[in-house]
Homo-oligomer: A and B are copies of this chain.
Amino acid sequence: MKKTVIAISRQVGSGGRTIGRKTAEKLGYACYDRELIAQIAKDSGFTDTEILEMADDSPRKTKLGYMLTEGRDIYGMTLSDHLWQSQIRVIRRLADQGPCVLVGRCADYLLHDRENCLKVFIHAGDDVRKKRLIEVHGDDPKNIDRELKNMDRRRRVHYELYTAQDWGDADNYDLCLDSGRLGIEKCADLIAEAVHRS
Residues of A near any B CB (own CB < 8 A):
121, 123, 168-171, 173-178, 181-182, 186, 189-190, 193-194, 197-198
Contact = CB atoms under 8 A, between A and B. Distances in A.
A143 B175 CA distance: 30
A177 B190 CA distance: 11
A189 B198 CA distance: 12
From DSSP, what is the main secondary structure of chain A's interface residues? mixed
**9 interchain residue pairs of minimum CB distance:** A176-B176, A170-B176, A174-B178, A174-B181, A170-B170, A186-B197, A168-B170, A121-B170, A123-B170
Contacts of A123: 170-171
Given A194-B190, A197-B186, A174 B174 contact: no
Given A170-B173, A174-B181, A186-B197, 10 more contacts: A123-B170, A168-B170, A169-B169, A173-B178, A174-B182, A176-B176, A182-B194, A182-B198, A190-B193, A190-B197
Contact of A175 (B169, B178, B197): B178
A177 to B, nearest CB: 6
A114 to B, nearest CB: 12
23 contacts: A121-B170, A123-B170, A123-B171, A168-B170, A168-B171, A169-B170, A170-B170, A170-B176, A174-B177, A175-B176, A175-B178, A175-B182, A176-B176, A182-B194, A182-B197, A182-B198, A186-B194, A186-B197, A186-B198, A189-B193, A189-B197, A190-B193, A190-B194
A169 B172 CA distance: 10
Contact of A177 (B175, B182, B186): B175
Nearest to A177: B175
Contacts of A177: 174-175
A40 to B, nearest CB: 27
A105 B173 CA distance: 24
